[in-house]
């Protein structure tokens, strides 16, 4: 049985003060048996959130890391730095990072390995642009991105990875993928993992849907055979909405 995972991706929102106010509101509420709850926050919020969520089941994630152990990489953060803070997850290869910060399939692969090296679990994003969907290339794009992401990663680590299928045209647009379409692509990604690692790994790996998920539609996605959770931007920013998302994944 795969444990559903709801992860909020706060993107570049919330000061420390705002993050702590959120934490106070969701403690004890965005905690539901059988559902993993993760807040992926800006770097500056991470120490305060780890402290605030101590003694709760809510986990904290980052939104990026560098692949090197350390070095002359101005402005970057390493896996070791995240681990030291007590961060459990890190989003890798989000489409916004691919689009605005030159993230490539190759850097995604290196970052996944760096995350695991320091015991931080990657949430790896894949997904097609609108023009790729319209050209019937959704599965091709997901195949290229998934296979590149997992290149050289051993089976045991592959099974622990979380994949987030986020069609780019559905991010922040209010135009969510239908649950059937999302499930079809996610089932296809699971088949790809089966091809790379075999049935056991494919059955174990968790694959989320992301793109305009809200309290009103989360249950529909969670009811699908292959969707194991959601990576949520906008609707994860308000405590009441985040609590409903976690409850909806039960």
Task: Please give the residue ranges that form the binding site for ligand 13P (CB under 6 A).
Answer: 9, 94, 166, 171-172, 210-213, 231-235
- In the complex with ligand 13P, the residue whose CB is nearer, 40 or 82, is 40
Min separation Cβ 97 and ligand 13P, Å: 10
Task: Identify the helix (H) or strand (E) that includes residue 249.
Answer: none
Asked whether 8 and 40 are in contact (CB, 8 A), the reply is: yes
How far apart (Å, rounded) are the C-alpha atoms in residues 39 and 61? 6
Q: Tell me the closest approach of the beta carbon of residue 72 to ligand 13P, in angstroms.
A: 30
Query: Catalytic: 147?
Result: no
Catalytic residue, candidates 36, 103, 128, 166: 166
Beta strand 229-232 with 89-92 is: unpaired
What is the closest distance, in whole angstroms, from the C-beta atom of residue 30 to ligand 13P in the complex? 16
Catalytic residue among 94, 96, 128, 132, which?
A: 94
DSSP 197-244: H-HHHHHH-EEEEESS--TTTHHHHHTSSS--EEEESGGGSSHHHHHH
Phi, psi of 36 (to 5 degrees): -90, 135
Residue of minimal Cβ distance to ligand 13P = 233
In the complex with ligand 13P, the residue whose CB is nearer, 108 or 202, is 108
Q: Is 66 a catalytic residue?
A: no
Strands 58-62 and 36-40, sheet pairing: parallel
- For 6, the 3-state DSSP assignment is strand
Least distance between ligand 13P and beta carbon 173 (Å): 7
Nearest CA-CA partner of 11 in 105, 97, 137, 125: 97
Task: Indicate which residues carry an active-site annotation.
Answer: 94, 166
């Amino acid at each position: 049985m795969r444990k559903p995972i709801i992860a909020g991706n706060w993107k570049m929102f919330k000061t420390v003060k705002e993050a702590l106010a959120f934490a106070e509101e969701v403690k004890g509420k965005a905690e539901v048996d059988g559902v993993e709850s993760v807040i992926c926050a800006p770097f500056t919020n991470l120490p305060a959130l780890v402290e605030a969520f101590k003694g709760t089941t809510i986990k904290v994630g980052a939104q990026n890391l560098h692949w090197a152990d350390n070095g002359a990489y101005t402005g970057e953060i390493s896996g070791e730095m995240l681990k030291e803070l007590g961060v459990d997850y890190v989003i890798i290869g989000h489409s916004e990072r691919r689009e605005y910060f030159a993230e490539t399939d190759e850097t995604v692969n290196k970052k996944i390995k760096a995350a695991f090296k320091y015991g931080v679990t990657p949430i790896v994003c894949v997904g097609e642009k609108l023009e790729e969907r319209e050209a019937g290339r959704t599965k091709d794009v997901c195949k290229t991105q998934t296979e590149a992401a997992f290149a050289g990663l051993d089976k045991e680590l592959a099974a622990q990875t979380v994949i987030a299928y986020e069609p780019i045209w559905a991010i922040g647009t209010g135009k969510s993928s239908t649950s059937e379409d999302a499930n079809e692509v996610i089932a296809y990604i699971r088949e790809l993992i089966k091809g790379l690692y075999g049935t056991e790994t494919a059955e174990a790996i968790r694959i989320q849907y992301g793109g305009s998920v809200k309290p009103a539609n989360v249950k529909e996605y969670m009811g699908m055979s292959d969707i194991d959770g959601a990576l949520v931007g906008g609707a994860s920013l308000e405590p009441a909405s985040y609590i409903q998302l976690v409850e909806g994944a039960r």
